Homo-oligomer: A and B are copies of this chain.
Amino acid sequence: MAKEKNTIPYKIYLTEEELPTRYYDVRADMKTKPAPLLNPKTLEPMTADELETVFCKELVKQELNTSKRYIDIPTEIRDFYKMYRPAPLVRAYCLEEKLDTPAKIYYKFEGNNTSGSHKLNSAIAQAYYAKKEGLKGVTTETGAGQWGTALSMACSYFDLDCNVYMVKVSYEQKPFRREVMRTYGANVTPSPSMTTEIGKTINAKFPQTTGSLGCAISEAVEVATKTAGYRYVLGSVLNQVALHQSIIGLETKKALEKYDIEPDIIIGCAGGGSNLAGLIAPFAGEKLRGEKNYKILAVEPASCPSLTRGKYAYDYCDTGMVCPLAKMYTLGSQFIPSASHAGGLRFHGMSPIISELYEQGIIDAVTYEQTEIFDAAEKFARCEGILPAPESSHAIKAAADEALRCKETGEEKTIVFGLTGTGYFDLKAYEQFNNGTMSDYIPTDEEIQKGLDALPVV
């Protein structure tokens, strides 16, 4: 199928002058706002004062904002963005040809930085505000390690102390991620550790434990709240993270407009929701204001289907049930998704913003199983060159399916999807796929119900 390769370049790069100077907060355009976080003890909305014991002041302001549409991006953050942004908007000419589709496929590639993903967009913002507030350092948790890597990079740039609690099993099985963080100067501690009260308690109770994200969160929060000059930072779910990630969508929109391209479908993978919220923000805004009617698609793993099989309810964000409650689509904080290689999508809940947009019908959602995701990933790698992260490959699969539908109908739709990162640290998973030993798991209705039955009564 001959395409107009001369009119649209393979990669659309914005110039540095064209880079967004303001974040966009989609909540400003939502008539019904996402519900507030609740204090887990009082079940009352968290106040700014309460949040400031955990987060920086400026970030608390952003967390609680619901009406301000644009927030200026400080020069220092914009300077850092210039080191790895703009991320290219790539026309997938080769994929289109392989699929033999009349559809036009574009992807926003966020993997061209050492963290290997979009996580750096929020990490640098959170590190900046911490530095500006005069803090000494920050604490966080990391599972697979992408968020920890991004935060390490951001902290080394602003000369901030960075303490990462890494789930013990990942610390041992993913030594490379750990070494990237150490190279950027972070202190990486396997969790549960003996450096916190909660860590000591868990180690005493379960001496053989290999840790969990819930426990690592609890350790990081404990250290941040008990140590002068430290705050806790988080890489997904929160409103502030969605705000920072809006840089993805704003750049995408400007790149499309630069070449008069009108998208029909916008697709992103959905775990905690940070990438999806960022990518779709300006498009969802137009849809909320009634200006446009894009199809916006969240793609979940079948093994952890919070939007498609979960319940819209208040729930704990962590398995330890010490963090605030958020109203979100959730499978229940006690739901344990089966081991899957898309570690970044194994969260039981979904960002409150994405949840509310889904509830309002602005977003649709689909699920795919692991093996079909890796099949799509491999096909994509072989023609587009980039080896995608398993998380990102959910969006690839959905985009390819939309393009194949266009082949059936003959429609020349324009599809945009988010390629959040690279799979260079996921090669154990690719090995399983290459060897034919990868399996799928869809939770039964009973398992789902069990998770939902344990939801807190609010």
**Which residues A418-442 have CB closer than 8 A to chain B?**
422, 424-425, 427, 430-431, 433-434
- Choose the segment among A181-189, A192-200, A255-263, A407-415 that binds chain B (4+ C-beta atoms closer than 8 Å): A181-189
**Which residues A160-212 have CB closer than 8 A to chain B?**
175-176, 179-180, 182-185
> Given A114-B381, A185-B382, do A180 and B10 touch, yes or no (CB 8 Å)?
no
A82 interfacial by beta-carbon distance below 8 Å: yes
A386 interfacial by beta-carbon distance below 8 Å: yes
A113 interfacial by beta-carbon distance below 8 Å: yes
Chain B residue with Cβ nearest A386: B114
The answer to whether A13 touches B10 (Cβ under 8 A) is: no
Q: A364-382 vs B: 1/0 string, CB under 8 Å?
A: 0000000000000010011
Contacts of A79 on B, CB cut-off 8 Å?
5, 10, 93
Contacts of A5 on B, CB cut-off 8 Å?
79
A156 interfacial by beta-carbon distance below 8 Å: yes
The answer to whether B385 touches A175 (Cβ under 8 A) is: no
> Given A83-B10, A83-B384, A83-B385, do A427 and B176 touch, yes or no (CB 8 Å)?
yes
A234 interfacial by beta-carbon distance below 8 Å: no
A106 CB → nearest B CB, Å: 13
**Which residues A73-116 have CB closer than 8 A to chain B?**
79-80, 82-84, 90, 93-94, 112-114, 116
A362 CB → nearest B CB, Å: 33
Contacts of A10 on B, CB cut-off 8 Å?
16, 79, 82-83
Contacts of A180 on B, CB cut-off 8 Å?
387, 424, 427, 430
Is chain A's binding surface mostly helix, strand, loop or mixed?
helix
> Given A422-B114, A431-B175, do A383 and B11 touch, yes or no (CB 8 Å)?
no
A153 interfacial by beta-carbon distance below 8 Å: yes
Q: What is the bound-complex CA distance between A180 and B182, given in angstroms?
A: 25
Contacts of A425 on B, CB cut-off 8 Å?
424
Chain B residue with Cβ nearest A81: B10
The answer to whether A434 touches B82 (Cβ under 8 A) is: no
The answer to whether B385 touches A82 (Cβ under 8 A) is: no
A229 interfacial by beta-carbon distance below 8 Å: no
Contacts of A179 on B, CB cut-off 8 Å?
427, 430-431, 434
The answer to whether B11 touches A382 (Cβ under 8 A) is: no
A70 interfacial by beta-carbon distance below 8 Å: no
Q: What is the bound-complex CA distance between A112 and B382, given in angstroms?
A: 16
A134 interfacial by beta-carbon distance below 8 Å: no
Q: What is the bound-complex CA distance between A16 and B9, given in angstroms?
A: 7
Contacts of A114 on B, CB cut-off 8 Å?
381, 385-387, 422, 424
8 Å CB contact of A385 from B157, B185, B427: B157
A15 interfacial by beta-carbon distance below 8 Å: yes
Q: What is the bound-complex CA distance between A113 and B385, given in angstroms?
A: 7
A259 CB → nearest B CB, Å: 12
The answer to whether A153 touches B385 (Cβ under 8 A) is: yes
Contacts of A153 on B, CB cut-off 8 Å?
385
A92 CB → nearest B CB, Å: 9
The answer to whether B384 touches A183 (Cβ under 8 A) is: no
Q: What is the bound-complex CA distance between A13 and B14, given in angstroms?
A: 10
Q: What is the bound-complex CA distance between A381 and B83, given in angstroms?
A: 12
The answer to whether A381 touches B82 (Cβ under 8 A) is: no
Contacts of A83 on B, CB cut-off 8 Å?
10-11, 90, 94, 384-385
Q: What is the bound-complex CA distance between A396 and B38, given in angstroms?
A: 50
Contacts of A182 on B, CB cut-off 8 Å?
430-431, 434
Contacts of A183 on B, CB cut-off 8 Å?
378, 381-382, 387, 430, 433-434
- Identify the interface centre among A15, A382, A425, A430: most chain B CB within 10 Å of its CB: A382
Q: A2-33 vs B: 1/0 string, CB under 8 Å?
A: 00010001110101100000000000000000
A145 CB → nearest B CB, Å: 11
Q: What is the bound-complex CA distance between A13 and B19, given in angstroms?
A: 14
The answer to whether B381 touches A184 (Cβ under 8 A) is: yes
Question: 14 new A-B pairs (CB below 8 Å) besides A114-B386, A157-B385, A183-B430?
Answer: A5-B79, A10-B79, A11-B82, A13-B13, A79-B93, A112-B112, A113-B386, A175-B427, A175-B431, A180-B427, A180-B430, A183-B381, A183-B387, A424-B424
